[in-house]
C-alpha cells in the first residue's frame, strides 16, 4: 500500500486514460444533476429515507468489506487512531442511517428566496437558491464521510464525486454501490453518486486539475491533504478545517468561567479543528491563569509555557519525572495545531498584545476571549479576524450542529463563498429570476 | 506602447523586484484595512463626499493627464471605440463625483446581520457581514472604473489595488493621487487605495500569482482579459461579464411583446454583456419571428440566419448589395458574443430544443424567454442554468442598478461566492459572533 503522504507530484501525475475517466464520470454526474436539481423536497426526502434503509439492509456486506480494509490496514502498520476512524460497526452504521433520516427533516435549501420584490417598473424579481451542480469531496480513511456527504449533496440537489482514500477503498466501494442502488430505486440516475477510489491518487490529481469536472471541491481531512488541494487545484475549492485556535483570558476573566471554558476548549475533544491550541493570559489575570493551568495539568495536558506562565505555577509543577510536566514554549509552539492533549501558553500585558499574537498566528478559524469587561469583549469581536469569534464560551461551539445548521459539510477557513460552519445553504448558489410583462429599458 | 493583447506569458513574467513591490504594496493595503473595516458608516460616507469634492477640485489636472493619454493613444493608433472609453470631460468627471455621493446614500453592508438568534444553551449568535479585506481590480483603459471601484471598495470597508491598463496610465495616476489625498484628509491611511500601473503587465502577473496579495481579484473588461485572469490567477477570482445571451420566442410569444423585447435586448446598447446575441424562434411562432426579424433589420442589425429563420423572411430581404443583408449562420455563430449590431438566429421545434441549444452555448450570464404559456415560463425558469433567467422582459435588466443594488462591482458568471450582478454585499464575507456566559460543550 502506498503511503498517503510521501508520494511526489510526479507519482501522482495522471495518465490521459485517468483524465478521460474523470471527464467521463463528471459528465455523467453533470447529466444526472438537472433532474435532482428540479426535484421537490418530498422526493428528495423519500430518497434519503431509502438510502438510510439501504445502509441498514446492507450492514453485513458493508461490515465485511470494512473488516477487509481493517485487516489490510493492520498489515500495513496503520496507526491505531487511523484504524479507529476507518472502523465501522453496527452502532456506527445505525448512526449513519439516522443522520440520513435527520437530513430529511431539514428544510430544503433549493428554491428558498434570498431576496425579492417588485421593481419600480413592475418586474417581479427573486433571487433563489439553486444547487451548485457537481460537488467533489476528497477525504481520508473515514467511510462515514461517504454516507454523510452523499446525503448532504442529495438534499442540496447536487451530484457528488467521492474520493475516500485507499485505506477505506473496499468499504467505500460497497457503500457507494448501496447508495447508488437506493437512488436508482427512487427513479433518479445513480450517477448522482460516484466514487473514484479505483483511480487512486492520480484520479485525485486529475479531478483537481480538470476545470469543469466539478463545480466545487471540498477537502476534508488533515492539514497536509487540505494544503495540497488548495495548492494544486485548478477547480474552485472550499478550504476547510485548519484551526490554530486561541483562547485569551482578559484581565477581568472570572476565575471559574476561565477554568470551565479553557478545560472544555482544550480537552472536550482534542483531535478536532475547534479545540483550543494556545492560551493567552493577561498578566493581571494571574489568579484565573494559575487556576486554569492547574486544571489543565490535572486533565493531563502537556503545557508549553513562556516565562510569565511558568511563574504562575508553584515550583512543585516545575520538575519531576512525569512526562506531562510543563516544558518551555518555543516560537514554533505558537504555530502548532497539536490536535492532542497539549497546549501553548503565553502571558501578555494587554489585549492589544493578545490580538497582535492572534493576528500573527491565527488560521482564521475560531478565536475566543473570556472577560468581564464589555469594552474588551467588543474590541475582540470587532478587531479579531476569524470565521468565528467567541466571548465567554467554549471554542467547541464553532460547529454546524451546535449553531443549528443541521448538517455540516465542513468548516470553511476561507473568506470567499462560505466562512465558518457550512450547512446545506453553502452547497448552493443563486439564480436571479425576473418575471415581467414585456418591460424594456429606456 | 506595447499591445494589450499580444504579449506572451514570457514577456509578462515578473522580476523578483516586481514581486517584492506587489508584496510590499499589498502589505501596506492589508495594514491600512483594519481601521476602515471598523469605521462607522458616518465616517465612510463623509470620506466618499470628500472623494467626490476632490475629483471635482482636481478636474483641470485630471483632464490634462487624460488629454496626454488620448494623444499617446491616438499616436499609437488606438481605435476610436477605445479612445472614447478612455476619454474624460467635465460631464463625465461630474458623473463620477455624483456616483461617489450616491454611494454615501446606500446602506452600509458591514455589520449587517445575515442571521442570528439565541441558541438553546443561551449563547447569542449572529452572523455579520465584514469586509473581504484587500480587493484587486484589473480593467482596461476606462479611468471611470478607477473612481468607481475605489468608492465601492471604501463603502464596503475594503482596501483596493487598482490596475487600469497602460492606455490610461497618466489619468489613473492623477485620479489615484487625488483619491488618496481625500482619504488621508479624513484621517484614513491613503494606502487603502493603491495603483500598480507603474509596474506594467508584469505587475498584473505578480498580483495574480501571489497568494495572499489580495483576498479577491475582480477582472473587468473584455473576454481576453477575463479569461487570462481566470486561467492564470492563483488568488481567488470573481469571473465577470462574458455574456452569450439568448432570447427565445416560445410558440405562444405575443407578437408586439416579442418585437419590443428583442429590439431592446439587441439594440439598446450593443457593447454590453447583457445584450442579446442569439435569437431562438419556435417554429410555431412564425408571425412573431417574422415581425421581430423585420424590426431587427430596420434597426440595422446584421442577421446570421439558419434555414428556418431565412424562410420566415420575404425574398426581398434575401439579396441585394446592402452589407447589412442577412447572411447564413454557421456553427461558429452560436458561440459568438458579437457585442455589436449583429445577431444569430435559429429556429427550433420545441422548448426542449431551445433549452438544449442554450445548455450547449450559454455562458451562464442571462437567458430570456418571451411566452404566454405558464408551463413554458416555469420550465424555462427552473431548467435553464444561468445567473439570471428572464420571462417577458429585456435581457438588459441583468444590471445592479436596475435590480436595486445601488452600486455594481460587475456581473459574476461564476457559481461560487457571487452570481449575477454584484453590489456592496458581494464585497463582504461574514463572521460568526457568539456571546455567552461561560457555556461549554457536554
Please name the residues between 1 and 40 in chain A that touch chain B, using a CB distance below 8 Å: 34, 38
Interface contact flag, B236 A438, Cβ < 8 Å: no
Among A389, A429, A441, the residue with its CB nearest the CB of B394 is: A441
- CATH number, domain containing residue B343: 3.40.309.10
Evaluate whether residue B121 is within a structural domain: no
Q: Are A402 and B119 in contact (CB under 8 A)?
A: yes
State whether residue A304 sits within 8 Å of chain B by CB: no
Same-domain pairing of A52 and A195: yes
CA A82/CA A27 separation, integer angstroms = 33
Chain B residues closer than 8 Å to A419 by CB: 429-432
Of B211, B240, B269, the residue at which a domain comes to its end is B240
- Do A20 and A101 sit in the same domain of this protein? yes
Q: Contacts of residue B390 in chain A, CB cutoff 8 Å?
A: 433-436
- Sequence-ordered list of residues with C-beta below 8 angstroms from that of B299, at least 6 positions apart, any chain: B263, B266, B267, B341
For residues A177 and A359, give the distance between their C-alpha atoms in angstroms, rounded to a whole number.
46
A49 & A171 share domain? yes
Alpha-carbon gap: B307 to the closest alpha carbon of chain A (Å): 28
B144 and B30 assigned to the same domain: yes
* CB atoms A441 and B123 under 8 Å: no
Q: Within an 8 Å CB–CB cutoff, is residue A419 touching chain B? A: yes
**Same domain? B311 vs B351:** yes
Q: Do B388 and A431 touch (CB under 8 A)?
A: yes
Judge: B438–A254 Cβ closer than 8 Å, yes or no.
yes
Q: B85 to chain A, minimum CA–CA distance in Å?
A: 22
Answer whether B372's CB lies under 8 Å from A89's CB. no
Min Cα–Cα distance to chain A from B433, Å: 5
**H runs (alpha helix) in A39-142:** 41-57, 59-75, 80-86, 90-104
Among B416, B418, B427, pick the best mutation site for testing chain A contact (most A Cβ within 10 A): B416
- Do B387 and B413 form a contact (C-beta atoms < 8 A)? yes
B398·A130 Cβ contact <8 A: no
How far apart are the C-alpha atoms of A423 and A175, rounded to whole Å? 23
Residues of chain B whose pLDDT is less than 50? 1-9, 318-320
Residues 6+ apart with CB under 8 A from A221: A138, A139, A140, A142, A241
Helix and strand totals (H; E) in chain B: 15, 16
On chain B, the residues whose CB falls within 8 A of the CB of A34 are 383, 385
In a domain, A259, yes or no: yes
User: How much is the pLDDT for B8?
Assistant: 43
Domain count across chain A: 2
Asked if A383's CB is within 8 angstroms of B38's CB, the reply is yes
DSSP string of B389-408, one letter each residue: EEEEE-GGG-STTTTT-SS-
Contact B435 A215 (CB under 8 A): no
Statement to judge: residues A218 and A295 lie in one domain: no
Whether residue B173 sits in one domain with residue B300 = no
The answer to whether residue A382 sits within a structural domain is: yes
What pLDDT sits at residue A323? 63
Nearest CA in chain A to B111: A382
Give the list of residues 6+ apart from residue A213 with CB closer than 8 angstroms, or none. A22, A23, A26, A134, A136, A161, A206, A207, A235
Are residues A371 and A312 located together in one domain of the fold? yes
Q: Which residues of B touch A436 (CB under 8 A)?
A: 390-393, 397
Choose among B436, B434, B405, B439: nearest CA to B421: B405
How many contacts, defined by CB atoms under 8 Å, are there between A and B? 195
Domain containing residue A177: CATH number:
3.40.605.10
User: Is some CB atom of chain B closer than 8 A to the CB atom of A128?
Assistant: no
Answer whether residue B431 is part of any domain: no
- Domain end: B215, B240, B265, which one? B240
Give the domain-ending residue among A218, A240, A262.
Answer: A240
Specify the pairing of strand B410-412 against strand B159-163.
unpaired
Name the closest residue on chain A to residue B397, using Cα atoms. Answer: A441
The confidence score (pLDDT) of residue B232 equals: 85
The pLDDT value given to residue A322: 65
> DSSP 3-state assignment of B270?
coil
Contact B123 A397 (CB under 8 A): yes
Torsion of CA A162, A56, A428, A396, to 10 degrees: -90
Q: Check CB contact of A83 with chain B, cutoff 8 Å.
A: no
Instruction: Answer whether A364 touches B (CB < 8 Å).
Output: no
Check A432 against B389: CB less than 8 A apart.
yes
Q: Is A255 on the interface with B (CB under 8 A)?
A: no
Show the domain range for B269.
Answer: 245-397
Question: Is residue A298 assigned to a domain?
Answer: yes
Whether residue A215 contacts residue A234, with contact meaning beta carbons closer than 8 Å, is answered with: no
Interface contact flag, B236 A439, Cβ < 8 Å: no
Query: What's the confidence (pLDDT) of residue A419?
Result: 97
| Residue B247 contacts A, CB cutoff 8 Å | no
CB-count burial class (<10 Å; 0-12, 13-18, 19+) for A105:
exposed
**Taking a contact as any Cβ pair under 8 Å apart, which residues of chain A between 366 and 385 contact chain B?**
377, 381-383, 385
How does strand A134-138 pair with strand A216-219?
A: parallel
Regarding whether A255 and A344 lie in a shared domain, the answer is yes
For chain A (442 residues), the mean pLDDT of every run of 10, in chain order, is 40 87 96 96 98 98 97 91 90 96 96 95 97 95 92 98 93 98 98 95 92 90 84 88 94 98 97 95 98 96 97 70 83 95 98 98 97 98 97 97 90 95 96 98 94
B340/chain A closest Cα distance in angstroms: 18
Q: A317 and A225 share a domain?
A: no
How far apart CA A250 and CA A368 sit, in angstroms, is 10
Identify whether B308 is part of a domain: yes
Specify if A69 maps to a domain. Answer: yes
Nearest residue in chain B measured CA to CA from A267: B441
Task: Using CA atoms of A361, A364, A366, A367 in order, give the dihedral in degrees to the nearest 10.
Answer: 50
* Same domain as A163, residue A308: no
B381 and B260 Cβ atoms separated by less than 8 Å: no
**Cross-chain Cβ contact B119/A254 below 8 Å:** no
Exposure letters A25-61 (e unless 16+ CB within 10 A, then b): bbebbbebbbebbbbeeeebbebbbbbbebbbebbee
B424 inside domain: no
Q: Are residues B82 and B150 in the same domain?
A: yes
A260 close to B (CB below 8 A): yes
What are the residues facing B246 on neighbouring strands? B278, B367
Amino acid at each position: 500500500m502506498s503511503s498517503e503522504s510521501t508520494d511526489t507530484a510526479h507519482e501522482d501525475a495522471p495518465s490521459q486514460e485517468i483524465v478521460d475517466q474523470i471527464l467521463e464520470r463528471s459528465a455523467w454526474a453533470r447529466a444526472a444533476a438537472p433532474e435532482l436539481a428540479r426535484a421537490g423536497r418530498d422526493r428528495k426526502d423519500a430518497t434519503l429515507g431509502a438510502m438510510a434503509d439501504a445502509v441498514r439492509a446492507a450492514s453485513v456486506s458493508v461490515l465485511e468489506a470494512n473488516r477487509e480494509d481493517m485487516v489490510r490496514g493492520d498489515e500495513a502498520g496503520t496507526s491505531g487512531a487511523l484504524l479507529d476512524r476507518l472502523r465501522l460497526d453496527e452502532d456506527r452504521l445505525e448512526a449513519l442511517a439516522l443522520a440520513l433520516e435527520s437530513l430529511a427533516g431539514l428544510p430544503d435549501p433549493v428554491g428558498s428566496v434570498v431576496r425579492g420584490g417588485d421593481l419600480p417598473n413592475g418586474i417581479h424579481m427573486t433571487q433563489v437558491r439553486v444547487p451548485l451542480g457537481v460537488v467533489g469531496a476528497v477525504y481520508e480513511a473515514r467511510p462515514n464521510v461517504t454516507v454523510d456527504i452523499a446525503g448532504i449533496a442529495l438534499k442540496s440537489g447536487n451530484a457528488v464525486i467521492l474520493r475516500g482514500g485507499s485505506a477505506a477503498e473496499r468499504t467505500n466501494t460497497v457503500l457507494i454501490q448501496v447508495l447508488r442502488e437506493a437512488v436508482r430505486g427512487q427513479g433518479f440516475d445513480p450517477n448522482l453518486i460516484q466514487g473514484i477510489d479505483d483511480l487512486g491518487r492520480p484520479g485525485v490529481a486529475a479531478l483537481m486539475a480538470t476545470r469543469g469536472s466539478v463545480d466545487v471541491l471540498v477537502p476534508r481531512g488533515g492539514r497536509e491533504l487540505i494544503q495540497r488541494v488548495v495548492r494544486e487545484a485548478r477547480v474552485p475549492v472550499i478550504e476547510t478545517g485548519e484551526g490554530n485556535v486561541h483562547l485569551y483570558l482578559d484581565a477581568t476573566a472570572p476565575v471559574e468561567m476561565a477554568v470551565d471554558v479553557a478545560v472544555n476548549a482544550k480537552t472536550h475533544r482534542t483531535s478536532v479543528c475547534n479545540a483550543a491550541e494556545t492560551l493567552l493570559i493577561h498578566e493581571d489575570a494571574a489568579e484565573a491563569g494559575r487556576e486554569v493551568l492547574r486544571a489543565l495539568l490535572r486533565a493531563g495536558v502537556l503545557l508549553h509555557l513562556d516565562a510569565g506562565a511558568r511563574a504562575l505555577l508553584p515550583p512543585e509543577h516545575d520538575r519531576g519525572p512525569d512526562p506531562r510536566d510543563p516544558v518551555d514554549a518555543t516560537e514554533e509552539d505558537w504555530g502548532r495545531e497539536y490536535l492532542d492533549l497539549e497546549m501553548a501558553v503565553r502571558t501578555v500585558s494587554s489585549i492589544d498584545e493578545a490580538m497582535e499574537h492572534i493576528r500573527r498566528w491565527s488560521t482564521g478559524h475560531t478565536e475566543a476571549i473570556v472577560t468581564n469587561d464589555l469594552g474588551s469583549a467588543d474590541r475582540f469581536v470587532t478587531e479579531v479576524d476569524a470565521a468565528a469569534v467567541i466571548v465567554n464560551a467554549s471554542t467547541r461551539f464553532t460547529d454546524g450542529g451546535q449553531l443549528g445548521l443541521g448538517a455540516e459539510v465542513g468548516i470553511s477557513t476561507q473568506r470567499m463563498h462560505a466562512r465558518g460552519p457550512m450547512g446545506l445553504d453553502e452547497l448552493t448558489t443563486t439564480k436571479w429570476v425576473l418575471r415581467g410583462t414585456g418591460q424594456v429599458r429606456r
